[in-house]
Structure 1
Amino acid sequence: MSRRSWVHGVSKVWAAATLTAAAPALYFWVASILTGDDGVSSYVSMSSGSCLGWDIYELVFLRAYAVVDFPLFSYGGAPLIALGCAGWYLSVRRGRPGLGRIIGRCVAAVLLVLNLPEVLLSSLDAALGPGCMQIWGPPELLSQQFTWRFYDCLPPILVLFAVRAPRRAFVRRGPVVRTAAGVLAVTAVVLLPAASASPGKVSAQWELGCPGFGDDTATRLNAAEKDFLCKVRGYDLPYDSGVEGWDEVSDQDVLAQGRHLCALATRHGGDITARAVSEAPQASLAGALADLCPAVARARQAEADRWQAESDAYVAREERACAAHPRHQPKIRPVRQRRATLWTEFWTIDGWEDGYEGNPPDLVRDLVGSGQGTLAIWAADEAGSACVTVESYARRPPLEVRGWEEVVEVGYESPSGALELVDGDGTSVKGLTTRGPGSYRVRVHLRGRELVTQVIDAPDGAVELLVQVFPGTAKKPVVYK
């Protein structure tokens, strides 16, 4: 081959390297003009802890942006390649091809230093674990970054090819060249797949679309798998506790272990308390298994239905027992008389007026207490029900103590004249006051306290309360019995 033909051929390789470097920037520039979209996007990365690759990148290469923004490195380094090509050509024309090769290799080295470290450092974090990979951004973005970084390595490789020393026969490369080629091959074959969407992926909260957070971008997973992973990872707000020991296990492995546990539970009718399930190595996943395992979901729903049926039956028994008590026969005619079965989980049934909720008064003789706009009446030994009769009077009713175990009367100030009793289930008895805002007396009669406090399984409807409300200006409480 003549010298002129050789120079012409090498110049074509230099031109190909320049065009390859500039092609992406030119493409996006033309696309932005045609579509009006500049193609700019951003993401927010959230992570904790320290990852070696990212720490090095943040320490060194994030500070090198001023160098990268230098015009010589714009358009993928095309100006630098063109300048290197000119230096090579002048060196060859002056009969110094060795200097031209040095110039070309320097150009290639600079471009490789700018592009390869991000790939190598993120690959290092991929090897350290999925938790470190999240700091580099969503997997889709990271996969694109890998693709572009390897593409950016193509122009310097073409430059190295252009300035290689001409050889007439095959020459075995030295150990340094062979080692470098091996490293690049391993990086491309092994680390690239790990960065794109490998079986070792741990989906982040925003990818799974967990309650209260996320874009639900993990399209490879169905809804049941996402819900299961949200609970396992601790992303299921408001609980946000997760299953200890599984936070950095890949999605694929967590789902595989969950399905294995589901198979065990299915063979036992969906019972996660069965010995084969509770003693399995992955038994800690059982609490979240209902989202992934239909058999467990059916068993849990059946248990909830059974519990609800028992609760409804118990409520119905208490209400029948209360209805079976003889109706109170007042000595004088009340303005209103109502009967109700009221429930509590914290010893008392509360009465209040709007704006005075949440400030329970102290009880007199552990039976009834009052304050401005608020009232409290003992009804059960911590949790239970009481058969309540409420009578509202326009004047003071005659005192009744016969047949009652306790009788206590207190004063009550009504700011709005709209006192109501409300139980733990939301049932209310309204219209206790008859003359609007003002001073009242509240007399409470009780029987059944000893029965429910001394007997473990007290009979239905054991506690009976008679509450009489009438006008009165006295403030001091009175214990009649």
Structure 2
Amino acid sequence: MAALLTAVSPTVYFWIDDGGGGSFTWGSAGRCLGNELSDQLWFMSGLPLFWYGGAPLIVLGFLGWYLAVRAGRERLARALARAAVGALLLCDVSHFLLLILDAAIGAECLDAWGPPEAMSLSVRTGLLSLAPPLLILLAVRRPFVRRGRFLRATFAALTMMALLLVPTTSAFPGRMSTESELDCDGSGDGTAKGFSKAEKDFLCRVHGHTVFHGEGEALAVASDQVLLERGYRLCKMAEHDIEGALRSEYARALGSLCPVVAQAQENEGRRRQEEQRAFFAKGEKACAAHPAHRPRAKPVRLARATMWTESWTINGWDEGFEGTIPDLAEELVGSERGALAIWAADESGHACVTGESYAKPPPLETKGWDEVVEVGYESPSGSLVIVDNQATALPDLTPGGPGFYRVRVHLRGRELVYQVPDPPDGAVELLVMVFPGKETEPIVYK
């Protein structure tokens, strides 16, 4: 009965007081033997026999023991009780013991077990889960047999666990400073003492308080001292294994703490910029190789640009209407008041775009083009500008000021883009003609 009450007591406690609904969330890139084995055994917790701290298994073991005793099979009774004890130890206590194993290996192995609060909870529940198996063993012990050796072994094991718990509890000293204490916003109002600016920047980035490389998620949750110890350990590692340091979960923040990592990240940034410049230069060269369009009427304005999209379309907006993406007519061009969208790629790619503005409707051109579609466009401000994802822009295409216009879009190269997974640069060519016109319905010429 004592073993059963002890087993269900945590469940009863959390039914009465759920702790305010708090929870722990963390991420870790490193794992060690204990945590890996714990994951393999975790499925047992979901089996009905192990619900409520193993209460169903304790009841079943008691019934088996009681029936065997009534039948005069005392050896079988003790075997059944010990089998229940073994199952309880494997399910509940094994996670606690495996945590101790990782603590003995080293503090870096504890990352996957969570922040200090979660670790403390695991330790407390692990110690509590030892009670029901011990109580069962005491209940089914043989009478009139010296228990000295058993008790000595038990106390020795518990003493060893206590000694191993020392690195576990000391691995998380200190506290975790808040965003305002670390002055993560740079306002100068921080109150955290004893940290250099580099250390504060590192802690801010690890906790996700500073957006770095476009990301603001927390990299880890632990005390300041633990995080700095890990950071400096990685800085030492970076001196002879920079690639290994850059593969760590703290890589985005390490540049604040380690000059060698900061230099490597700066070099990598320059390399990527050069690579990006070369990529776009290749696209511009491919577009420049196409013959320029020869207008049949003199345009008011004419411009050419190599435009890049990562979302199928290039877009045009009047001032104040940025962000609206109209639906496309014939999957080529769409418009709303102050907004224009033109298909330019199969999700992402370059398009060679020519924009022309006219004072009156230009001659219709369909020869040499695969598709020609015209839509109406209302320009509220007379400032239509077509832009791409790299801020490349065609100049104002509505020189007549606010009013109603027609936008005629010519396209070739769509079939090639759809036929091959990696189409050549310059495969898509667009000619965009803008001229006055009050007609609002789209017209498909080809």
TM-score after normalising by structure 1: 0.53
Q: 1:415 matched to which residue of 2? A: 380
CA distance in 1, matches of 2:335, 2:208: 45
Aligned 1:208-219 pairs, distance under 5 A: 208-211=182-185, 215-219=189-193
The equivalent of 2:108 in structure 1 is none
Q: What is the RMSD computed on CA atoms of the aligned residues?
A: 2.8
Aligned residue pair count: 279
Matches within 5 A, 1:453-472: 453-472=418-437
Bigger-Rg structure (1/2): 1
Is residue 261 of structure 1 aligned with residue 253 of structure 2?
A: no
Q: Which amino acid aligns with 1:255?
A: L
The one of 228, 231, 235 equivalent to 2:205 is: 231
Which residue in the other structure is 2:218 paired with? 242
CA shift in 2, pair 1:335/1:287, >3 Å: closer
Of the candidates 235, 242, 245, which is equivalent to residue 272 of structure 1?
245
1:450 to 415, 424, 445: 415
Say yes or no: does 1:361 pair with 2:326: yes
- Tell me what 2:58 maps to: none
Kept in 2, the 8 Å contact 1:344–1:424? The answer is: yes
Superposed, 1:216-365 pairs within 5 Å as 216-236=190-210, 241-244=217-220, 246-247=221-222, 249=223, 251-272=224-245, 283-365=248-330
State the alpha-carbon separation in 1 of the partners of residues 177 and 441 from structure 2: 66
In 2, the alpha carbon distance for the partners of 1:333 and 1:286 equals 57
For residues 237 and 300 of structure 1, what CA distance do their matches in structure 2 show? 16
- For residues 320-366 of structure 1, the C-alpha deviation after alignment (integer angstroms, 9 at most, x for no partner) is 22122111111122222111112222111111212322222211111
SS of residue in 2 equivalent to 1:252: helix
1:380 equivalent to 2:345? Answer yes
Q: Does 1:393 align with 2:358?
A: yes
Unaligned runs of 5+ in 2: 1-18, 22-114, 118-171
**Pair 206,443 (structure 1): closer, same or farther in 2 beyond 3 Å:** closer
2:181 aligns to what SS in structure 1? helix
1:86-127 deviation line (CA, Å, top 9, x unaligned): xxxxxxxxxxxxxxxxxxxxxxxxxxxxxxxxxxxxxxxxxx
1:219 Cα offset (Å): 4.2
1:369 touches 1:375 (CA, 8 Å); kept in 2?
yes
In the TM superposition, what is the alpha-carbon distance from 1:199 to its structure 2 partner? Answer: 6.6
Separation in structure 2 between the aligned mates of residue 266 and residue 340 of structure 1, nearest angstrom: 46
Counterparts in 2 of 1:217 and 1:416: CA distance versus 1, 3 Å: closer
Show the counterpart of 1:101.
none
User: In 2, are the aligned partners of 1:405 and 1:447 still within 8 Å (CA)?
Assistant: yes
Distance 2:188 2:217 in 1: 18
Tell me: CA distance 1:361–1:232, structure 2 relative to 1, closer, same or farther (3 Å).
closer
Deviation at 1:209, TM superposition (A): 1.6
Q: Is the 8 A contact 1:348 1:379 kept in 2?
A: yes
SS at match of 2:411: strand
Q: Secondary structure at the match of 1:435?
A: coil
Matched, 1:370 2:347: no
Alpha-carbon displacement from aligned partner over 1:390-424 (angstroms, at most 9, x marks no partner): 11112221111111111111122222322221222
Query: Could you list the runs of 4 or more consecutive aligned residues of structure 1 that deviate by over 6 angstroms after TM superposition?
Result: none
Checking the alignment, whether the CA contact within 8 Å between 2:303 and 2:395 is kept in structure 1 is no
DSSP 3-state at the match of 1:272: helix
1:437 and 1:263 map into 2 onto residues whose CA distance is 63
Structure 1 residues 289-335: Cα deviation after superposition (integer angstroms, max 9, x where no partner): 22212222222222211111110011111112212211111112222
The one-letter amino acid of 2:387's match is: V
What is the CA deviation profile of residues 2-41 of structure 1, one whole-angstrom value per residue up to 9, with x for unaligned ones? xxxxxxxxxxxxxxxxxxxxxxxxxxxxxxxxxxxxxxxx
Structure-2 separation of matches of 1:304 and 1:330: 43
Question: Against the structure 1 CA distance between its residues 242 and 357, is the aligned structure 2 distance closer, same or farther, given a 3 Å change threshold?
Answer: closer
Query: Matches of 2:417 and 2:227 in 1, distance apart?
Result: 50
Letter in 1 for 2:322: E
Could you list the runs of 5+ residues in structure 1 that have no partner in the other structure? 1-47, 51-128, 132-197
| Partner SS state of residue 431, structure 2 | strand
Partner SS for 1:205: coil
